[in-house]
Structure formats: C-alpha cells, structure tokens
Amino acid sequence: MRPRVLLAVPLLVLTACTSSHTTGPFAGPTSRAVSPQSSTPQSSAPPAEASALVSWPAYHGDAARTGYAHSMPTAAGPPKVTATIGLDGHVYASPIVVRGRVVVATENDSVYAIDNGTIAWRRHLGSPAQGDELPCGNIHPLGITGTPVYSGGFVYVVAEFGGPPRHVLYSIKLSDGSVAWEKSVDLPGVETKAMQERGALTVAGGRVWVPFGGLAGDCGGYKGRVVGVRLDGTGRAISYTVPTPREGGIWTPPGPAFDGRYLYVAVGNGEIGRRGGGYDRSDSVLKLSTSAKLVQLFSPSTWRADNDGDLDLGSQGPTLLGKWVFTDGKRGTAYVLRRANLGGIGHQVSSRALCQSFGGTAVVGIRIYVPCTDGVRGIWIDSTGKIRVLWHAPSAITGSPIVGGGRVWTLDVGAGRLHSLDPMTGAERGSVPVGAVSRFATPAAYGRTLYVPTMSGLTIVTTS
C-alpha cells in the first residue's frame, strides 16, 4: 500500500526523533524532544487529566474492547487533521492514551510517548525480524504488532526481534520510558519463528496476557496460545495452548476480551478438518480463567468444513454485550451465545448470515458496530438473542470502528480516509484523509481527539 499525501487540509508536520540505533527507510529528521545521539528518553510526567476525560489504556479503550469513548463531546461538524507525526516504522498496533499522553509502537521495535503533538520520549528496544528470517508473513520488518496495554504506571508491550526471531515482553515506565523489566514469552512446544504476536495485550487477574497466532500464510509449527505473566515480571509464565496438532491461531487484533472474571478469545482454523481426527477446539470462542484454564467453549457445527476452507471465527474478537457474546468471522455467519454458557459445539442462541468480519467491534448499549469486508454494519441484539441489522455502510468503509461524540469512527483502508457515521443510520457525517493505513488499523480516542495509526506514524484528528 503506497503512502498517500494529505492535501485536503493544512497539516502541522512533526517528525519523530531518531537515535544512533535507528537505521533503514523509516529513519527521519531529528526531533527536538530527544537527542539524536542517544535513545535515552527525557523524563517527563504525563499531563494532568481533566476530570471530564477518560483515558484509553488498551485496544478499543478497555479490557472488554467496547470501543466507546464515553467522554468525547458531541461532534457537530466534520473532523479535521491537526497534525501528522512521522515515526520510525509502520504502525499496526492501536495507540493508547493515558491522562493525555499517547503511546505508539512501531514495527521498528520502538515505543513513543507523545504529549500535545510533541514527542516526550522514545524507547528503541532492538532490531525487528526481517523477512528473510521468517518462514512466511506479510509484515516486514516484524517488530511490535500487538497493541500495548497500560496498568499501574507501566506500559506492557511485546517486541519481536530477529537473529533468530523471538518475542520479549517489556514493562516500560510511562513517565520516562525506562524499562522496568523484560521477559521472554517464547514457551516450549511450538516453532518460535512461526509464531506471531498480533493481538492486543490484556491485563486481568494480576497478569498481562499475550496472545499468539501464526504468520500470514499459515506456515510452520505454530499453535494458538495465550501467555500470562505477572505484572511485576516475577515467577513463571502460565499459558493456555489450543490442543491442535498445528495452527488454531489466537491472532485477531483485539486480543483477549475480559469481563472482570474471564478472558474470551477467538481461535482460527486448526489442522484437523475433513481429513479426520477429533475436535481440536479450533474455529471457536474460548472462555478462559485467569489461571489459564479452559472454562467453556463454542464452535459452529460446521467447524470441520470451516477449518478446511479457512472460514473460521478467528478473524474477529468476541464481543461482550450484557448476557450475550457476539461473534462472527470469515464464513460470514454471525452467532449469539450466552455468556454464562457458551454452548459447546453447535449450540448457539441464534445465528444469521451477516458478513465476513475482520478486526474489532464497538459496543454502545444494545448496539454493535461490526467491521465487515463489504462495509461496516450497525446491528442490535433483541431480548431473545436474535440479530437485527440497523444499517450497512458503503463497501469501502471496512475498518474496525469506535464510537464517540455521537458518531461511529471508522476507516476506508484503501483510500486512507477516516469516516464519521451516524450511529443510528450509518449516514456519512464527514470524512478526512489520514494517510496510508494497515488493514486492521483502528483509532484511539481522548476528549475531542482521535489518534490514527498509519504506515508512516500517527495522524491526529480533532472533532468539532
């Protein structure tokens, strides 16, 4: 995807700082925020948070992945780009925001903190894996892909390094970018170089949870896995691994959703299909305890055919809505499950043909906004658990939506354009070009501001 030049509105272009460690095509001009001779960050506390504003410390704002910006003021006019910030690599992960400080991670294994459009610190963690080191895949170089999470003064992020490929979890102090601790999250039983950490991290039960799937192309000996590490980095990691001979990735960008007691993950296609063999918990939604034990599961009755045709549920994160769990995936069949009892194989509350869905949903009240490959859907679930469609956006608007200010905010990925839609009708209320973005890009929100991850850094959009 080629970067697009923003011409519609005047931009304040800010360039990221570099260090002696930064090389390659993303190295840019030096910012005044950090010396070009060193990657050591300047100490700077986050700006004080206004009482009316709510932080966005995780993918789609919270552990449940609701994607709802409660404190965004009502938007009356079209959105406007106020700044673009060039960083040292592609940004696939969503930004997070804590008390006004924005944290952004790049595929060059760098983490940035940004205050009011100015880089406060940059922490470059190492050298990402290169394409010739990986058995397949479509992200090159491959560095930080999963969205970080914030808790208790620290940002938790997983970086993939090369030479050979490996995955390391970091705890980074939000105030100054210093590394508190680091820990390998590569556990036995899989082919490490075939594993990819693409899903967002989650904090639950005193641990940070790291989901793993495989690379694009489904090559090598990977297995879906969730690894839990104590927030202080001590002790042994715990994990749940999908019991399939191969594949069954837990890769969708939202990562695990947490309802305050249990983790919910979507699992992709497994090795077992029409070729025979027993059920391997692939093509599923799994409910896990915070001790990494399987509690309940759901799979469609078509799980074997889904696996054979790569038509599984693993492409969209589970949606928590009251007593329901909503899920959809590559086949295009959506399911409603009871949260108290997911139902096992083929025992959904309801199902219907909806759309192929990739990414993360947003939830407000009884309404769900679903990222579909042929245009975002607005739906609701009635009291009996049936899915009702409210509206269908134009086919090019496919990004993982969030909601705030009385608008649904979502991307036309191909055009690199952020759209503002009416949440009840899906009608266009304004749009703005933001630059080239990845397929799974999704904004973060804070106050009137939206932060959009791009293939060159960060675009800052203000609502009005």
Are 94 and 102 within 8 A, CB to CB?
no
Give the span between the Cα atoms of 79 and 243, in whole angstroms: 47
CA-closest candidate to residue 319, choices 267, 226, 231, 256: 256
pLDDT of residue 272: 82
Q: What is the sign of the dihedral through the CA atoms of 112, 115, 63 and 374?
A: negative
Would you say how long the chain is, in residues? 464
3-state secondary structure 93-162: CCCEEECCEEEEECCCCEEEEEECCEEEEEEECCCCECHHHCCCCCCCCECCCCCCEEECCEEEEEEEEC
Are 204 and 230 within 8 A, CB to CB?
no
pLDDT of residue 273: 67
Contacts of 231 (CB under 8 A, 6+ apart): 151, 152, 154, 156, 171, 203, 206, 207, 208
Give the span between the Cα atoms of 407 and 184, in whole angstroms: 41
pLDDT of residue 278: 87
Are 302 and 312 within 8 A, CB to CB?
no
pLDDT of residue 25: 30
Give the span between the Cα atoms of 75 and 172, in whole angstroms: 34
Are 268 and 224 within 8 A, CB to CB?
yes
What 3-state class would DSSP assign to 324?
strand
Strand 80-86 relative to strand 12-15, pairing: parallel
CA-closest candidate to residue 212, choices 202, 231, 227: 227
What 3-state class would DSSP assign to 298?
strand
CA-closest candidate to residue 373, choices 402, 430, 414: 414
pLDDT of residue 275: 62
Enumerate the H helices of 137-269 as residue ranges.
none
Q: Which helix (H) or strand (E) holds 307?
A: helix 303-309
Domain ranges across the chain:
12-462
DSSP 66-93: --EETTPPPP-S--EEEEEEE-SS---S
pLDDT in tens, 86-141: 999 999 999 999 999 999 999 999 999 999 999 999 999 999 999 999 999 999 99
In sequence order, the β-bridge partners of residue 210 are: 227
pLDDT of residue 323: 97
Contacts of 430 (CB under 8 A, 6+ apart): 77, 78, 79, 419, 420
Answer yes or no: CATH 2.140.10.10 is held by domain 12-462: yes
Give the span between the Cα atoms of 388 and 367, in whole angstroms: 10
Radius of gyration of the chain (CA): 21
Which residue matches tokens 């959105």?
79
In sequence order, the β-bridge partners of residue 13 are: 84
CA distances from 354 to 370, 421, 462 (A): 10, 20, 32
Intervals of the chain under pLDDT 50:
1-44, 48-51
Distance of CA 407 to the CA centre of its chain: 20
Are 429 and 420 within 8 A, CB to CB?
yes
Buried b vs exposed e over 164-195: b needs ≥16 C-beta within 10 Å? ebbbbbbbbbbbbbeeeeebebbbeebebbbb
Are 453 and 441 within 8 A, CB to CB?
yes
Are 314 and 329 within 8 A, CB to CB?
yes
Are 133 and 162 within 8 A, CB to CB?
yes
The amino acid that residue 66 corresponds to is T
Give the span between the Cα atoms of 177 and 161, in whole angstroms: 19
pLDDT in tens, 247-295: 999 999 999 999 999 999 999 999 886 566 789 999 999 999 999 999 9
Return the DSSP state at 50. Answer: P
